[in-house]
Structure 1
Amino acid sequence: MAELREKWSLKGTTALVTGGSKGIGYAIVEELANFGARVYTCSRNENELQECLEIWRKKGLKVEGSVCDLLSRTERKKLMKTIENVFDGKLNILVRPLLFDSSIL
């Protein structure tokens, strides 16, 4: 597995994964960080986000995050400003997992 990680290294890259506190988003955050990327994630739920950040830090992964509701234009702008500051203007990977919204049924 170490050989695979070296071959597919993301060391030196930065990633933003929205909705990273559960489900597919959580798995993507962890996988990118395991391959060496610095990852930033956001979630609407502060408690879930803090629990995840604690888990990732204990694993030694480079993950940061903040609370953000992407439905709010103001919060999206604030998030992008934060990302710009955290990653010194360099964002290599953007992942926004599609979520099933039962309200459309």
Structure 2
Amino acid sequence: MAEAANIGSRSSRWSLQGLTALVTGGSKGIGYAIVEELAGLGARVHTCSRNEAQLNESLHQWSAKGYHVTASVCDVASHPQRQELIAKVSGLFNGKLDILVNNVGTNIVKETTEIKKKTSDSL
């Protein structure tokens, strides 16, 4: 009976100890939950967000729970900021990245015919 009570507990699941992860958009919502789950399972996690205040609040919460999470402000729509993010993550994790969760996105409320195509320079 006690065994059934442990089903679904974090200790009865797998471990991500020693693995590294990058989660974009991790300061709120689904991204926040993903960061917390990965860190709770033992991964070293780096996340990013455009909002520094939300990011700092999230870091404070994770630190209080004992999770190993680092973060940086980054708008992944910006090519130079993406390059800085990758350089930072590479340095933090000694070039080793095991898990990537690309959690950022946008919701454009327009007719499809009104959306302008991006050029390769803006990607």
User: Gaps (5+ residues) in structure 1?
Assistant: none
My pick for the range that moved more, 92-101 or 40-49, is 92-101
For the structure 1 residues 62 and 103, does the alpha-carbon distance in structure 2 shift closer, same or farther, using more than 3 Å as the test? same
Give the counterpart letter for 2:87 in structure 1.
Answer: K
- Look up the SS of the partner of 1:66 in the other structure: strand
CA–CA separation in structure 2 for the residues paired with 1:104 and 1:81: 35
User: Gaps (5+ residues) in structure 2?
Assistant: 1-8, 112-123
CA–CA separation in structure 2 for the residues paired with 1:29 and 1:89: 20
Higher relative contact order (CA 8 A, sep 6+): 1
Q: Partner residue of 2:12?
A: 4
Give the counterpart letter for 2:21 in structure 1.
Answer: A
Choose 1 or 2 for highest CA Rg: 2
For the structure 1 residues 37 and 83, does the alpha-carbon distance in structure 2 shift closer, same or farther, using more than 3 Å as the test? same
For the structure 1 residues 18 and 4, does the alpha-carbon distance in structure 2 shift closer, same or farther, using more than 3 Å as the test? same
Identity across aligned pairs (percent)?
54
- Between the two proteins, the alignment pairs up a number of residues equal to 103
Give 1:61 deviation, angstroms: 0.2
Alignment of 1:45-56 (within 5 A): 45-56=51-62
Residues 32-67 of structure 1 deviation map (CA, whole Å, 9 limit, x = unaligned): 000000000000000000000000001000000000
Give the counterpart letter for 1:37 in structure 2.
Answer: A
CA–CA separation in structure 2 for the residues paired with 1:74 and 1:98: 17
TM-score (norm 2): 0.79
- Aligned structure 1 segments of 4 or more residues deviating by more than 6 angstroms: none
